[in-house]
A and B are shown apart, each in its own frame.
Chain A
Amino acid sequence: MRTDAMLTAYKTIVTREIRRFTRIWPQTLLPPAVTMTLYFIIFGNLIGSRIGVMDGFDYMSFIVPGLIMMAVITSSYSNVVSSFFSMKFQRSIEELLVSPVPNWIILAGYVTGGMSRGLGIGLIVTLLSLGFTDLSIHHLPMVILTVFLTSALFSLGGFINAMLATKFDDISIVPTFILTPLTYLGGVFYSIDMLPGFWQGVSMINPILYMVNAFRYGILGVSDVNPYIALAMIVVFITILSAVSLRMLARGKGIRH
């Protein structure tokens, strides 16, 4: 395929993905907005006012970066996993398989679709948070880089999940049993300084902790970990998951008999 043709194919996939999640916005855009507003009200305002200061910031300001990341992670992941799995399920994936689009364009298109929703949600949640707290940004490039790369990483995760899934149950297992616990334990609501030494150590093997902290560093300037190590780690994960995704596409397991 020629380069301009590949670009057209890429744009086509991305457009289709964006059209999908905006068409079903009550399922895709509304729920995180509602949930996050509830978090802001309950944890930030009601409970937060009693918690007092964390890492030198009032509790509301402390949890906002983590909650934004949480929304970005879940939305990116679930966009790709549901979209690609339903393509598999309805067999409309065959429209792509018969066409000359190279696999890496297919992957890039879906990841961009997941990022569009993830970052869109991130923006919505950020705007909502402004109703509760003032956000000043400590280090803008760090904010942007972290949120983009994290969104890309979880879009890839959603893609692999969709490739492996054989039934609808399979697409909710990872978000429910892995993603949510890791996010809750990933320092969204607390600084790991508060934990006893052993649990601090355990927390350090949770990758989401690094992303949340790097993002919080970008906004507040405080972090439990070195944000540059966190960025490097995300890049390594992205490389690995991309390679795995491309290999799965090439073998065609679950999409080609």
Chain B
Amino acid sequence: MTNALEIEGLVKTYGDGFEALKGIDLHVAEGDFFALLGPNGAGKSTTLGIVCSLVNKSAGKVRVFGSDIDTHLSDAKLNLGVVPQEFNFNQFEKVFDIVTTQAGYYGIPLKKASESAEKYLRQLGLWDKRNTPAMMLSGGMKRRLMIARALVHEPKLLILDEPTAGVDIELRRSMWTFLEEMNRRGTTIILTTHYLEEAEALCRNIAIIDHGRILRNTSKRELLQQLSSETFVLDTAEPLDKAPVLDGFFSHLDDEGAMVVDVQKGQSLNGMFIQLEKLGIRVVSMRTKANRLEELFIRMVEDNNTSAASRGDAA
């Protein structure tokens, strides 16, 4: 099976001498839904920028569906759609023009470009705004405009750099559904996000990058299995004034007064409920604490900072 993206030994030193990428290797299989995660300044946008020809690399190889960007750039570009982190359309142009113009740059004649633009503007709920100048769109609409623009030439690989930044929850859910559907129909998707529940909900494989190095590159399942414990939030019928003492479980109260219990892997929940029953505590609802990934992520990045500091190259 071909890889949608292959990155080998990618190095980027910016003009001011700053080394943003220190040799990155990354493989994304065709059909994958892939998340590139990392704190601010980790090098995510730099990596994606190089793949999309917005940033010149200093060393290394990049191949998009087998086309090397040094030798077959035009083929690589035809397979790529890009949603950048920052708004980068002409604010004075109309929504429809922005999308059809982009199609024209890919060599798609106006008639076909208009059909494709209509299809994606409708799917993304922007059709009513087609004659509105871009600057009069809301932030969430601008993000969707960039998605429509990225898809107008039907790329096989879609790259999204923080597509849901500043997007409200409802819209974010509908964008998730949209992206999942795109992926189901065969588009390979790579995204970066700071909302880890987004990566947890959408992606199959994950790479974590920090200070220009890949810390982990693995499947989400494997990553989550690393968690040795799981945290549950329990809402009780009567408010508690202090966390109950449970044999074998650690519990505390969160800011809203809900009971939070850590459960070790393999430990049975029955024991906890029997104890709660005895204490006369009635549990009305229970959920796992979201952002399990977040905990792992924070732990990894912290570990990396510690070891980077001991190597003496912390940024």
B90 in the interface (beta carbon within 8 A): yes
CA distance A130 to B55 in the complex (A): 52
Q: B102 near A97 (CB under 8 angstroms)?
A: no
Residues in B with CB closer than 8 Å to A98 are 52-54, 77, 80, 82
Bound CA–CA A141/B84 (angstroms): 49
B105 near A12 (CB under 8 angstroms)? Answer: yes
Residues of B within 8 A of A13 (CB): 104-105
- Contact across chains for B107 and A9 when beta carbons are under 8 A apart: yes
Contact A100 B107, CB 8 Å, known A19-B97, A90-B88, A91-B88: yes
Q: Is the CB of A8 within 8 A of B53?
A: no
> CA of A16 to CA of B56 in the docked complex: distance in angstroms?
27
Task: Note all chain B residues with C-beta closer than 8 A to A102.
Answer: 74
Residues on A with C-beta less than 8 A from B281 are none
> A96 at interface (Cβ–Cβ under 8 A)?
yes
User: A19-B97, A98-B77, A252-B56 are known contacts. Are A92 and B104 too (CB-CB below 8 A)?
Assistant: no
| B74-A90 in contact (CB<8A) | no
Instruction: Check A95–B89 contact: CB distance below 8 A.
Output: yes
Which residue of B has the minimal Cβ distance to A23?
A: B92
Q: Quick one: given A6-B107, A94-B88, A98-B82, are A256 and B74 in contact (CB under 8 Å)?
A: no
Residues of B within 8 A of A86 (CB): 90
Least Cβ–Cβ distance between A90 and chain B, in angstroms: 6
Looking across the interface, which residue of chain B has its beta carbon closest to that of A4?
B107
CB neighbours of B303 from chain A (8 A): none
Please, how many angstroms separate the alpha-carbon atoms of A102 and B106 in the complex?
Answer: 11
The CA of A6 and the CA of B108, in the complex, are separated in Å by: 9
Across the interface, name the chain A residue whose C-beta is closest to B108.
Answer: A8
A256 touching B80 in the complex, CB below 8 Å, given contacts A2-B107, A95-B88: no
**Roughly how many angstroms separate A2 CA and B92 CA in the complex, as a whole number?**
31
Number of A-B contacts (CB under 8 A): 84
Instruction: Count chain B CB atoms within 10 A of each CB in A5, A87, A100, A101 and give the residue with the most.
Output: A100
Are A92 and B49 touching (Cβ within 8 A)? no
Per-residue CB proximity of B39-76 to A under 8 Å, as 1/0? 00000000001001111100000000000000001100
B82, closest chain A residue (CB)? A98
Cβ–Cβ contact B55 & A256, under 8 A: yes
- Residues of chain B at interface, number, CB under 8 A: 33
Complex: A5 Cα to B52 Cα, angstroms: 20
Which residues on A sit within 8 Å (CB–CB) of B110? Answer: 8
- Given A100-B78, A256-B55, A256-B56, A94 contacting B104 (CB threshold 8 A): no
Q: Residue-by-residue, is A82-118 near B (CB-CB < 8 Å gives 1, otherwise 0)? A: 0000110011101111111110000000000000000
Bound state CA distance, A256 and B84, in angstroms? 14
Number of A residues whose C-beta is below 8 Å from B? 31
A257 at the interface (CB under 8 A from B): yes
Say whether A101 contacts B53, CB under 8 Å.
no
Question: How does the 8 Å CB contact mask read for B78-120 relative to A, with 1 for contact and 0 for none?
Answer: 1010101011111110000100011011111110000000000
Which residues of A sit under 8 angstroms from B91, Cβ to Cβ?
90
Whether the Cβ atoms of B54 and A5 lie closer than 8 Å is no
Residues of A within 8 A of B107 (CB): 1-2, 4-6, 8-9, 100
A167 within 8 A of B: no
Partner of A11, one of B87, B97, B104: B104
In the complex, are the beta carbons of B55 and A257 less than 8 A apart?
A: yes
Nearest-Cβ distance from residue A134 to partner chain B, whole angstroms: 41
Evaluate contact between B84 and A8: CB separation under 8 angstroms.
no
Distance in Å from the Cβ of A91 to the closest Cβ of chain B? 4
Is B15 in contact with chain A by the CB < 8 A criterion?
yes
Known A-B contacts A97-B54, A98-B53; A90 and B104 likewise in contact (beta carbons under 8 Å):
no
Give a binary string over A234-252; 1 marks a CB under 8 Å from any B CB, 0 the rest.
0000000000000000001
Whole-angstrom CA separation of A6 from B74 in the bound complex: 12
Contact of B105 among A87, A91, A95 (CB under 8 A): A95
Q: Which residues of A contact B273 (CB under 8 A)?
A: none
A–B Cβ pairs within 8 angstroms, 22 of them: A5-B106, A8-B109, A11-B104, A13-B104, A13-B105, A90-B88, A90-B89, A90-B90, A91-B88, A96-B105, A98-B54, A99-B77, A99-B106, A100-B73, A100-B77, A100-B78, A100-B107, A102-B74, A252-B56, A256-B53, A257-B14, A257-B55
